Amino acid sequence: MRIASFNLESLDLPPKARVPLEARAEMLRPQLERLDADVLCLQEVNAQKIPGTGTRQLVALDALLAGTRYASYQRAVSTSGEAGGATDVHNLVTLSRLPIVEQRSLLHCYVKPPLHERVTARPPDAEPTPIRLDRPLLLTEIALADGRRLAVINVHLRAPLATAIPGQKEAPFVWKSVAGWAEGYYTASVKRALQALELRLAVDALLDEAPQRLVLVAGDLNAEDHETPLRLVIGAEEDTGNGRLAARALVLLDRAIPEDRRFSIVHYGRPQMFDHMLASRALLAHVQGIEVHNETLGDEALAYAKVAVAPGSYHAPLVLTLNLDGAGTGGGPTA
């Protein structure tokens, strides 16, 4: 069984998209086919308005997947907001060759928005404002042939980019004051950590139901190994200080990738691993290998300034190989 994760980077249609879908598909389809995935977790899938309807549909994704193995896969899509349904940008989509028996979008399901009184807002806040998460997590339960379920949590954490503060921006990327930028960056960091906490609590809820649950977290966590979001999600025993909790810790699977190959983006010449896969201890018994397809990665920061119409993605996909044949609860793979 192969499970893959890929940030498509704002897959959309013109006029909102600067690049025609045909040009993007020419670059992205070979990458998707190479993954040969039974389960595919996608991030940054934008949804388009359909004339005469009140909902958005994943028209661009349908066009991208046309003619590929994934066109016939079952599909789970993240929802958010009071109205539900797909949003205009940054939807999560999980595609599965195996049956999807349950799906849930998790947005402030385990953590309430904390209140923050912004100190640099102009005009000043009359009262503290809630720091709300921008997008949900997508939990998908997939039925395996032996009757068990594989819980896959598709993730896209907040990027470490400062959020807007009222009265503190001259332009989208130009701030009026260092203090305003600093508070915006602080707020973004809180959002990213808050998402990571909700993810950790969601994993704990699954393990509370059954300690030997097969759980996989996959996606763009916008953080490297040992940064706060990863530490929150992993819950390592060296952080909790309690060996009895070691079985609750998740395993960061991409640590198995050789260090010189361990990167999923390149930013100003610096290779970084922002995309990750993490497994529960029960699932770890069935892990056969993990790959990152980063051979064609360009530098996202330089490309933003120099490439007029970049058709691909500046994230590399990850693919995990599992052997679940004949495996019992928490047991290892059979020969």
**Partners of residue 169 on adjacent β-strands:** 175
What is d(CA 77, CA 61) in angstroms, rounded to the nearest whole number? 11
* pLDDT number for residue 114: 97
DSSP 155-214: EEPPPSSPPP-TT-EEETTEES-HHHHHHHHHHHHHHHHHHHHHHHHHHHHHHHH-TT-E
Label residue 94 exposed, middle or buried (CB < 10 Å: 0-12, 13-18, 19+).
buried
End-to-end CA distance of the chain: 15
* pLDDT number for residue 305: 57
* Average pLDDT in the chain: 93
282-329 pLDDT, tens digit per residue, is 999 999 999 999 999 988 877 665 565 678 999 999 999 999 985 444
161 pLDDT more than 90:
yes
pLDDT confidence bin for 81, thresholds 50/70/90: low
* pLDDT number for residue 331: 36
82 pLDDT more than 80:
no
Contact 159, 9 (CB under 8 A): no
Q: Region 205-221: what's the mean pLDDT?
A: 98
* pLDDT number for residue 317: 98
270 pLDDT more than 50:
yes
Residue type, position 314, single letter:
Y
* pLDDT number for residue 304: 63
6-23 pLDDT, tens digit per residue, is 999 999 999 999 899 999
Q: Considering Cα of 281, then 282, then 286, then 292, what sign does the dihedral take?
A: negative
* pLDDT number for residue 241: 98
Query: In this structure, what token pair is assigned to residue 242?
Result: 């309690």
85-135 pLDDT, tens digit per residue, is 899 999 999 999 999 999 999 999 999 999 999 999 999 999 999 999 999
Cβ atoms within 10 Å of 314's Cβ, excluding its own: 19
Residue type, position 42, single letter:
L
Q: To the nearest whole percent, how much of the chain has pLDDT over 90?
A: 87
Neighbour-count burial for 213-244, b at 16+ CB within 10 Å, e otherwise: bbbbbbbbbbbeeebebbbbbbbbeeeeeeee
Q: To the nearest whole percent, how much of the chain has pLDDT over 70?
A: 94
Helix ranges (H only) for 46-159 are 59-65
**Length in residues, the chain:** 335
What is d(CA 81, CA 27) in angstroms, rounded to the nearest whole number? 33
What is d(CA 22, CA 124) in angstroms, rounded to the nearest whole number? 47
Torsion of CA 28, 294, 34, 58, to 10 degrees: -30
Place of tokens 């070979």: 30
Query: In this structure, what token pair is assigned to residue 62?
Result: 């349908």
Cβ atoms within 10 Å of 164's Cβ, excluding its own: 13
* pLDDT number for residue 5: 98
Query: In this structure, what token pair is assigned to residue 226?
Result: 């040992």
* pLDDT number for residue 332: 34
Phi, psi (rounded to 5 degrees) for 275: -100, 135
CA atoms within 13 A on the CB side of 139: 18
∠ CA 272-288-217 to the nearest 5 degrees? 50
* pLDDT number for residue 310: 78
> Given phi > 0 = left and psi -120 to 50 = alpha, else beta, which region is 219?
left
Query: In this structure, what token pair is assigned to residue 118?
Result: 């912004």
* pLDDT number for residue 52: 78
19-58 pLDDT, tens digit per residue, is 999 999 999 999 999 999 999 999 999 999 988 777 899 9
* pLDDT number for residue 333: 31
* pLDDT number for residue 233: 98
